[in-house]
Structure 1
Amino acid sequence: MSAPLTADQLLAALRAEGATVVETGGWRTHNRNSRGPWGPVNGVMIHHTVTRGTDATVRIVHDGYEGLPGPLCHVMIAKDGTIFTIGWGRTNHAGLGDPGVLAAVVAERALPPDVQASVDGNRAFYGAECENLGTGDDPWPELQLLAIEQFAAALCRAHGWTAASVIGHREWQPGKVDPLGFPMDAMRDRIATRLGHGAPRQVPPPSRPQVSLSQLVTAARTNPGMAGTPVTYPGVLAVEAALVDEGLLAKPYSDGHYGTTTVTAMSGWQERCGYSGRAPGQAADGIPGRASLTRLGAKHGFDVID
């Protein structure tokens, strides 16, 4: 946990790593500080942009788009390895994420599964957007991977962090897939080697999240139709995150209350498991059952109890 670097300290750190840096106009004061604090900072987060073309990508991450104002990152890392400075201060890159993941980053230990979205990541992380379509088959040139390594290592070296302080967006927020196309563990190994630390220290992660079937059934039978109902049981978040990953639940509805949309999503999962009939009391009615919930947990990293 540290105070953020100054803009001049960032430039010095990047150049000390041998990075190629291009400064965009006004980046030192381009931020979202009026919307909340930036810092203390705890780590570095890597993203992909879902864009093509360096000039267009720089413009998008600088300006933002409808519904999400810029800056969308601190730096943008182009295909050719150039690091463009975009903003300095709070930026719209991380969103809400898992408190267990943040605790692991602070402790520099292995990451637990990201099953909640309740902690402000824009305060806690430096963010790099990397030019890539995010399709899984858009290549990551070695020069670009090297620049990601240099950016993350520069910040880790400046703060005295290890490579365990570097994460991908997909490891922070349920339902995210970026950066898609290279493994984050391999990137952390590269960063650790550059820092001279060897492989990141691996401490066993916390046990898998546990979902109480009885409490989940109660939540499912209580909440439908009650928009805005508070979290009734933390296991709802783990189940909703899994349904988002399955493409059955839109991410905005992964909010911890088992409403009618979650019922429909669970019904879809039950049908995938071979059950049928959506009328109340039938096997695919969206009320969790042990067999289908256990299959969902086995695939998405939670255990079903009671």
Structure 2
Amino acid sequence: MVLPIYNLIWMPAVLEAAGLKVAETPGWRSRGRAEMGTVRGVMCHHTATAAPGNMPTLKTLINGRSDLPGPLAQLGLGRDGTFYVIAAGRANHAGAGYWEGIKYGNSSFIGIEAENSGLANDPWPDIQMDAYHRGVAALLAHIGADAGKCCGHKEYALPKGRKPDPSFDMPTFRSSVAAFLSGKTPEPPIPAKDEQDRPTLRRGDSGALVAALQRALEIDDDGKFGPGTEKAVRAAQRKAGLVPDGIVGPKSWAALNPPLTASTSALASAPASGPAPQAQTVAMAALPVAGAASLPIADDANHPVVVRGGIAFGPGGQRFASRLSQGFYTLGLRPPPPGWGGHRRQACLVPLLALLPQHARTKADSKP
């Protein structure tokens, strides 16, 4: 049997281009009640589930309930800000309602179910809300819609009062989405470094600070922040009562507090810009900007393009990932892949590899 491929297959690329974490569920391209109609907006929900974990309702969103077959949304949003891609076709998420001239919700709105109980004792993590704003803005921009085409289920559903989700204030939410759509650059939810100048680390980073982190986590200290390190970070964050987002920012550094050697201390206290250290092993160093012309144009003096801790933020608030493979700064291992970057905007930083002496460059290139 040949399964259909539905139209919303563009969603992961759009979300990734906005700097968001994306996880695709098996079979999502062929999952849906039917094909979507003309996509006119995005509808926000919360799952109303109090179960622990990052996205405990994922299976239910895929398979549905006894009274409502799945999929129940096109996207799920975990507490750590990860978007789970569930379906490229129509989903049973809207029901009867009306918003901005739209009365057929399932065929007109992309549905996002964000993991939250909706209760007063279940606050929304900053990393999740930031991803919600950025993700909705990216989807609306792709379909050519403004922030007014983002609604909450509680606003759309009829009769009024039929649905309470999402629990946050929708006008305030739309204002944040509108800021992204207009090219503003809100502060990232996690600072680029802590008070000891230790940079925020995430999957894809590598180097001496990652190795120090791994030793604090009591795992293999290969210096590469991969899936295993991210899993260990999440576990440590849960134990410390932090949001288990797998990102080591100031709060996680304080909870883990690994001892720093002289070399890792030097890396942690490196200036935010300027020439990279001349050494055979270079990692987590910030790079000089290649030049104003290579960065996206700023909106105005209050919303410039910025580089924090080696991560570039465009005027639209996009967080460009700091991994070498995405071309923004390099750990001195190998040059960016040929032809990378033609499909999305990028902020170019000088490759660190070019700043190394030749013998160090040769040694770095020999690594897998």
Q: Is the 8 Å Cα contact of residues 162 and 197 (structure 1) preserved in structure 2?
A: no
What is the CA-CA distance between 1:197 and the residue it aligns to?
6.4
2-side partners of 1:40 and 1:144: how far apart? 28
1-side partners of 2:75 and 2:148: how far apart? 20
1-side partners of 2:121 and 2:154: how far apart? 17
> Which residue identity lines up with residue 72 of structure 1 in the other structure?
L
Provide the aligned length of Structure 1 versus Structure 2. Answer: 174
1-side partners of 2:120 and 2:38: how far apart? 33
1:49 corresponds to which residue? 47
2:176 corresponds to which residue? 190
In structure 2, runs of 5+ residues without a counterpart are 1-5, 185-368
1-side partners of 2:96 and 2:28: how far apart? 24
Residue 17 of structure 2 is aligned to residue 40 of structure 1: no
What is the CA-CA distance between 1:160 and the residue it aligns to?
1.5
What is the CA-CA distance between 1:131 and the residue it aligns to?
0.3
Q: Which has the larger radius of gyration?
A: 2
1:177 corresponds to which residue? 164
Residue 124 of structure 2 is aligned to residue 140 of structure 1: yes
Higher mean C-alpha displacement, 47-56 vs 144-153: 47-56
> Which residue identity lines up with residue 39 of structure 1 in the other structure?
G
2:19 corresponds to which residue? 18
1-side partners of 2:58 and 2:127: how far apart? 18
1:102 corresponds to which residue? 100
Post-superposition CA distance 1:33-89 (Å, at most 9, x none) = 1xxx52112110000001123353111111111011111000100111011011111
What is the CA-CA distance between 1:6 and the residue it aligns to?
3.8
> Which residue identity lines up with residue 188 of structure 1 in the other structure?
R
2:139 corresponds to which residue? 155
1-side partners of 2:7 and 2:18: how far apart? 17
Q: Which has the higher contact order (CA 8 A, sep 6+)?
A: 1
2-side partners of 1:26 and 1:185: how far apart? 35
> Which residue identity lines up with residue 46 of structure 2 in the other structure?
H
* TM-score normalised by L of structure 2: 0.45
> Which residue identity lines up with residue 91 of structure 2 in the other structure?
T
SS in 1 for 2:100: helix
1:218 corresponds to which residue? none
Distance of aligned partners of 1:65 and 1:39 in 2 relative to their CA distance in 1, 3 Å threshold: same
1-side partners of 2:120 and 2:173: how far apart? 16
Post-superposition CA distance 1:215-268 (Å, at most 9, x none) = xxxxxxxxxxxxxxxxxxxxxxxxxxxxxxxxxxxxxxxxxxxxxxxxxxxxxx
Match of 1:130 among 98, 105, 114: 114
2:65 corresponds to which residue? 65
Give the CA RMSD over aligned residues: 1.7
Task: Determine which structure has the larger helix proportion and give its number.
Answer: 1
Q: Is the 8 Å Cα contact of residues 55 and 79 (structure 2) preserved in structure 1?
A: no
1-side partners of 2:175 and 2:58: how far apart? 28
Identity, in percent, stands at 40
Post-superposition CA distance 1:105-151 (Å, at most 9, x none) = 6xxxxxxxxxxxxx331011000000011223311001111111122
Runs of 4+ in structure 1 deviating by more than 3 angstroms, as ranges, are: 5-8
1-side partners of 2:106 and 2:118: how far apart? 21
Q: Is the 8 Å Cα contact of residues 8 and 89 (structure 2) preserved in structure 1?
A: no
